[in-house]
Every structure is written in structure tokens, then in C-alpha cells.
Amino acid sequence: MVQETDQARNDATESQNLAESARVRAAAAEAAATRSEQGRREMMKRLRHLESLVCGTPRSATPSREGQGLWPTRRHRR
């Protein structure tokens, strides 16, 4: 009886630890995705700037396929 109680307590503790670990990993993944998205936006901003320097008018001034809704964004794919 005591062993069963101890085993149940140990199992519950292990489950809590696994859940906390999963929450930490999910938060880290979300933070990485946010940084990646911010990096992508910054690169597009730089590209538009360079295009304006080279071409006079940025090619990116026209809406992208994503901006037109033709390609799903990362958020819509979830």
C-alpha cells in the first residue's frame, strides 16, 4: 500500500516535471519563431531599401503574394 502511494506520488511528480519542461520548450520555440519573423521583416525592409537605391523604385512596392493573400502566412498555417 505504501509502495503504491509512493509510486503514484513519483508518477505525479514526473508528470508535472514533464509538463513544465514542455511549457519551457514551447515558450522557447515561440520566441525563436518571433525572432525569425522579425529577422525576415528586417531583411525585407533592407531589400526594399537596396532596390530603391539600385532601381529607383522598389520591386517590392507591389504587394507580395503573401500580402495579397495568395500564400498563407505562418500564422494562418497553424
Identify which of 44, 50, 33, 47 has the alpha carbon closest to the alpha carbon of residue 67.
44
Q: What are phi and psi of 53, to 5 degrees?
A: -70, -40
Per the structure, the count of domains in the chain is 1
* Residuewise pLDDT in 10s, the chain (78 residues): 889 999 999 999 999 999 999 999 999 999 999 999 999 999 999 999 999 889 886 555 566 666 666 666 665 555
Other CB atoms within a 10 A radius of the CB of residue 34 amount to 10
Quote the pTM value: 0.54
Residues in the chain: 78
Structural domain of 40? 2-77
